[in-house]
Chains A and B, each alone.
Chain A
């Protein structure tokens, strides 16, 4: 009966509503620093074989093709779009952006993963212990941590493209505070999304690899810049429109299947 049509359409409506959820989250984060958009991948479900190819027909011929009906669609996975976001000038000395692949490593709560997370959000601040922390989440410290001595004004800090942090005080004293490291992954699309601009290494992403900025294809550091979200609102809106229409189309399949079953149910005269 038309229940297969009903089920196919239902799987599609479920999958498409997931797509709409993901697009809505992308659009909601169109202004989030260092946000990476996601996309939903779809794939067909299995095919029900009504007749196998190669069976012998009544007339003794071998049929070259079989009869198959597909059973709908499912969400395969969501995939991170790790394209570089545009850089925005902020004028603040403690804002840094990564141009190229790679992440900063920060210390999180020991209960989250192995206590390490990764971010591209370089909105840095100095906390009460004079350590550099990122502005996202709960102010996680960099790993390896970088301490700003109490006599140095954070406004005097300059960060070079290779990540060296140098403070030049008004009296001419130059202090080297350390170097920012950039961590890359073999398969960054396999990272686990923790929210709050944080990502976590997984079996799929492989372990993090420590690099100096500019080394081994890792990105470089740009001071007084922040990486904006890589969401393209035009593209997301077009995808949203397409998803909504696809949703409506599948509701038509459901209506037709329903009416058909009604027609068949009413076959018998009372």
Chain B
């Protein structure tokens, strides 16, 4: 009996987690380069099976019931967001499966957020001031006196000649990316990634464009409603089981 109550509680907990994730997706529906998180759940095996104990007579029946629900590892949806035109030539977006490389606190990070600026020293930086990296993963130094432009291959042109080439790293397995916040991702082996366009996958850099968040409000709100109802259903199961326990304790075995 109490076993069932704990499983209903795991349902409440996973539904809460899904709501938290959806709320974050909705909060970032205007964040450039944001990728929505997927909050998936999976069936939990019974505690006995998880510990690797063999079937015994006492748990054979319980095992058929299952052990409730667990969170799946968080994944994100890597589909491309809508492109928005901007007047700024250093607003860049990637058409294809690539990521810009930036340096944050000595770490190389990947991002789809191409809101770049040239700072007072002529370095190309993100809106947070982190340096943007070239194909060799070095910071990009530009001539501060000339307005730069970026072509579709990611080459930065100043005064008619190519002065640097942006790193646009092709990531085939997006499950190896981890979100670090600030629309930055970490990857275990950034240096080993191929430049986009060198492999089979086509891709190009779009100037005067920004990639919007790939959050679909209809989908998120529907999932939010579903998560809320699931939570209520599980909460009602807890109440029902509590009521039954209450009757068991107070009425069964009553001496009249």
Contact = CB atoms under 8 A, between A and B. Distances in A.
Interface string A134-163: 000000000000000000000000000000
Contacts of A41: 32, 115, 127
Interface string B169-182: 00000010011111
A217 B16 contact: no
Interface string B66-106: 00000101110000000000111000000000000000000
A183 B228 CA distance: 58
A68 B37 contact: yes
A256 B18 CA distance: 12
Contacts of B118: 186-187
B256 interface: no
B202 interface: no
Interface residues of B, number: 66
A256 B19 contact: yes
Interface stretch (A26-34, A59-67, A111-119, A122-130): A59-67
Among B15, B73, B75, B144, chain A packs the most CB atoms within 10 A around the CB of: B73
The 8 closest A-B pairs by CB, nearest first: A65-B73, A12-B27, A206-B120, A70-B24, A5-B23, A186-B144, A46-B181, A253-B23
20 contacts: A5-B20, A8-B23, A9-B27, A12-B29, A15-B30, A39-B86, A42-B30, A43-B113, A44-B179, A47-B180, A53-B178, A67-B74, A68-B178, A69-B21, A101-B147, A190-B120, A253-B224, A256-B19, A260-B228, A263-B232
Interface of B: 12, 15-17, 19-32, 34, 37, 50-52, 71, 73-75, 86-88, 113, 115, 117-122, 127-128, 144-147, 175, 178-183, 217, 220-221, 224-225, 227-228, 231-232, 235, 238-239, 242-243, 246
